[in-house]
Copies of this chain bind each other. A is one copy, B any other.
Amino acid sequence: MLIIHADDIGVAHSENSATFKAMQTGVVNSGSVMVPCPWFAEVVSYAKENPQADLGLHLTLTSEWKQYKWGPVTSSAAVPGLINKNGFFYTSADSVVMFASAAEVEQEIRNQVIKAKQMGLDPTHLDAHMGTAFSSPGFLKAYIKVGKEFNLPVMLSRQLESMFGIKLDSQINPSTFLIDNIIMATPNDFKNTMKNYYTSVLNGLKPGLSCLLIHLAYDNDEMKAVTINHPEYGSAWRQEDFDFFTSDACRDLLKKNNIVLITWREIRDKLYRSGQ
């Protein structure tokens, strides 16, 4: 079982338009949205026009690009630990762990959910941009807590323990929903072309529920400028993701390997809305 999940929706118009196209014509069946980003309102319009689209929130605590910036949705005076001297989020998860309190993180991610719902997007799940919202035990606790508060599944997996040096057991119970495998390309995979990487992923998928995290955008002027001086997760990388997940080759691989696509909406509705 596989969720083909587009991250970073809302970051730029290029990201939005490529992701929407891949959801409508390709096999991308889920994604998550960055509420604090400038193009969030465009995603809300899309969600209203496409109420079955599987859109969660990519809880955002960083502003990582060089010349294109954003900050918290919470009043900045209330979350001083989340912002740098220019009022933007920090560029790295490490800085957020160093300077922000778990209380600030909790307040900001709660406000992102509230703002999304208020603007008209009913999210299907929560996950964390750059893993920041689970990069310390205190942040992880806030992330799980806010998910429960809004009856939303949060992306969690045993893999996060080694990736972020956190322990899940003290924070979850036996019925907590876990993803078996989170899969995402690395810079080395990009060097060998995304087509090769994803082909090998789809041919070698393990049993259980996997979530494949991808990033879709067009390699155009806007996206080149957003990701300037940053080939990793850059504009060309995102175009390759788009090309693969809208290709017939990808469709054929899913079929050949009997991969069943499932969505976060199905998971949410099963866990929290059964009977509706």
Contact = CB atoms under 8 A, between A and B. Distances in A.
Interface of A: 12-14, 17, 38-42, 45, 66-70, 73, 75-78, 85-87, 115, 118-119, 218, 220-222, 225-226
A59 to B, nearest CB: 17
A225 B10 CA distance: 13
Contacts of A222: 12-14, 220-222
A40 B13 contact: no
Most buried by B among A13, A68, A225: A13
Contacts of A85: 118
B221 A17 contact: yes
B221 A14 contact: yes
Copies of this chain in its oligomeric complex: 2
A38 to B, nearest CB: 4
29 contacts: A13-B68, A13-B221, A13-B222, A13-B226, A17-B221, A17-B225, A38-B38, A38-B68, A38-B70, A39-B67, A40-B69, A41-B67, A41-B68, A42-B67, A42-B68, A45-B67, A75-B75, A75-B76, A75-B78, A76-B76, A77-B77, A77-B78, A86-B119, A87-B115, A218-B221, A220-B220, A220-B221, A220-B222, A221-B222
